[in-house]
Structure 1
Amino acid sequence: MNPSSAKPGDKVTVRAPDADCNPRYGQNASIQVTVTDATSVAVINTTAPMNDAGGFIYSFEVPAQMAAGEAAVTAIPFNIDWCDDTGKNTRADGAAATLQRASCVTPMKPLSITR
């Protein structure tokens, strides 16, 4: 994420490189990006395109109403059984996903909001 500190109106970019493990998310894959401000209000909750290998770039403008302090930015694959502990990619064979995310830790990056 760049920058790690911003004020309302500034542009912030969240990105991830392609995964090395060939996750095969599919050509219509999406990433869900959520930005929660220092008062725990989700000021952004949206999806954006993600490539088959998990790479994505999403930029947003810090909303004017966002509270100052430490915000949290999360980005997780949208509507995908990405925490399958069996070692089998349930998307690779075209089968319908029947697993649900259970005990995975959601990746989070801090974003310092200043005025």
Structure 2
Amino acid sequence: MALNWKDRGRHSAISATVGALALVAAIPGCASSTDGEPPCFPPAYSLTPTTAAPGQSVTVAAPDADCNPRYGKNARIQVSVTDATGVEVVNTTAAMNDAGGFTYTFVVPARTAVGDAVVTAMPYNVDWCDDTGRNNRVAGAGDVRLERLSCAAPMTPLTVTR
């Protein structure tokens, strides 16, 4: 079956996303802590199921990290879902533990376009991966709002069906 120009672009975007996921999975860490601990990257997350129709539940979950990320007792994970047309259909935060573990379940919204969607889950309001080689999540941040400066955002594909 021949792909039209729109399908080729989508196919290229999906291929780029999968390539970025492989690259991110291979990176052991982007920032190191200020107290000499080794780098601590957020734990990988998974989706269950990876194919769903609008109205069905999908669970996004991650185990505790193997390192000490120190997210704190009020840590949050930001979960977003962008559908095949590029529309963000979910954008919320959920509880995450100090070690980065979390479980969040959402219902695929009725307005979600059929096709390949992308789910992202990142620690909320922390600069977990910057270019300075330091961990901006630790002491001294106070009430300063921290933003992610660089690194590929972790993305996991979700196939939306009818």
Q: Under a length normalisation based on structure 1, what TM-score does the superposition of the two structures give?
A: 0.90
Counterpart residue identity of residue 35, structure 1: V
Counterpart residue identity of residue 91, structure 2: N
Structure 1 81/5 Cα, relative in aligned 2: closer, same or farther at 3 Å? same
Query: Which residue pairs with 1:112 in the alignment?
Result: 159
**Deviations 1:30-81 (CA, angstroms, capped at 9, x unpaired):** 0000000000000000000010000000000111111000000000000002
Q: Does 1:43 align with 2:89?
A: yes
Query: Which residue pairs with 1:18 in the alignment?
Result: 64
Moved more, 1-10 or 94-103: 94-103
Q: Specify which of 42, 50, 56 is matched with residue 4 of structure 1.
A: 50
Find the aligned partners of 2:145 and 2:159 in 1 and give their Cα distance. 38
Q: Which residues of structure 1 form unaligned runs of 5+?
A: none
Matches within 5 A, 1:47-62: 47-62=93-108
Find the aligned partners of 1:114 and 1:28 in 2 and give their Cα distance. 35
- Report % sequence identity: 65
Q: Tell whether the 8 Å contact from 1:84 to 1:99 is kept in structure 2 after alignment.
A: no
- Between structures 1 and 2, the one with greater helix share: 2
SS class of match (1:12) = strand
Q: Does 1:103 align with 2:150?
A: yes
Structure 1 111/75 Cα, relative in aligned 2: closer, same or farther at 3 Å? same
Moved more, 15-24 or 89-98: 89-98
Find the aligned partners of 1:58 and 1:29 in 2 and give their Cα distance. 14
Q: Tell whether the 8 Å contact from 1:14 to 1:57 is kept in structure 2 after alignment.
A: yes
Find the aligned partners of 2:79 and 2:51 in 1 and give their Cα distance. 17
Q: Under a length normalisation based on structure 2, what TM-score does the superposition of the two structures give?
A: 0.65
Counterpart residue identity of residue 156, structure 2: K
SS class of match (2:159) = strand
Find the aligned partners of 2:127 and 2:59 in 1 and give their Cα distance. 25
Paired residues, what number?
115
Counterpart residue identity of residue 17, structure 1: P
Q: Tell whether the 8 Å contact from 2:83 to 2:117 is kept in structure 1 after alignment.
A: yes
Q: CA deviation at 1:95?
A: 3.7
Structure 1 60/106 Cα, relative in aligned 2: closer, same or farther at 3 Å? same
